[in-house]
Amino acid sequence: MAKTLDEYAKEWQGDAEADALWVILTDSRYYGGKWNVEDFFATGDEEIERVFRFMQSRSLRVNDGCFLDFGCGVGRISKALRKRFQRGFGVDISPKTVDLARSYVKGVDFMVNQCDSLPQFPDDSVDFIYSHIVLQHIPNDYQKRYLDEFLRIVRPGGLAVFSNPDRFPQSTGEQAAFCYQGQTGNKTEISLSGRNEEMVNSAQTTPS
């Protein structure tokens, strides 16, 4: 039987209380509280730099109004995104990681979310949604519900970037997708193609 979100919340809360930084970036070299906070957050800057460089190479542009870091943890990515956007939000299932995010990152609204929707956000309210190494931890049914929510809240012309483990035997690494909502405001279908070594692949949806 699949776990409930309450069970996932308890599990992640326990992991965060044990070693919040390592449970987010599980590098064996840093197990047992060995992550240096500055080095840990530097990986977020590097990751977002790669993502935006890739977006630029594909002529993908997004307004700098508002971002959502879904599965924000302690704010590793939120801190990097805040430098590029006027306002930001981070949501996570663990109260412990949200408390830490609030202490580490200023200028971002962090909140606990333990339901299978995003009721805090109105339709067409977010310019950029980012979720990396998050959705693979939950069953497909929950993934689909959150993806529906991403498409609901992303603004016309906005972008949602998310990753999921590679399910295709002929390829290695991660599959990632752009869910792009065109300027017309039409919702889109998600399309995957290939693998990109810089964390975000070349899949871009086209307006329906």
Report the pLDDT value the prediction gives residue 13, as an integer from 0 to 100: 86
The total of other beta-carbon atoms located within 10 Å of residue 199's CB is 17
Report the pLDDT value the prediction gives residue 201, as an integer from 0 to 100: 33
Name the nearest CA neighbour of 113 among 85, 78, 72, 81: 72
Strands 109-112 and 174-180, sheet pairing:
unpaired
Report the pLDDT value the prediction gives residue 188, as an integer from 0 to 100: 45
Report the pLDDT value the prediction gives residue 208, as an integer from 0 to 100: 36
Distance CA 208, CA 206 (A): 6
User: 22, 103 in Cβ contact below 8 A?
Assistant: no
Name the nearest CA neighbour of 164 among 128, 201, 129: 201
Report the pLDDT value the prediction gives residue 113, as an integer from 0 to 100: 92
Report the pLDDT value the prediction gives residue 89, as an integer from 0 to 100: 98
Low-confidence ranges of the chain (pLDDT < 70): 1, 164-208
User: 40, 77 in Cβ contact below 8 A?
Assistant: no
Report the pLDDT value the prediction gives residue 103, as an integer from 0 to 100: 97
Q: Where do the domains of the chain lie, and which CATH numbers do they carry?
A: 37-180 (3.40.50.150)
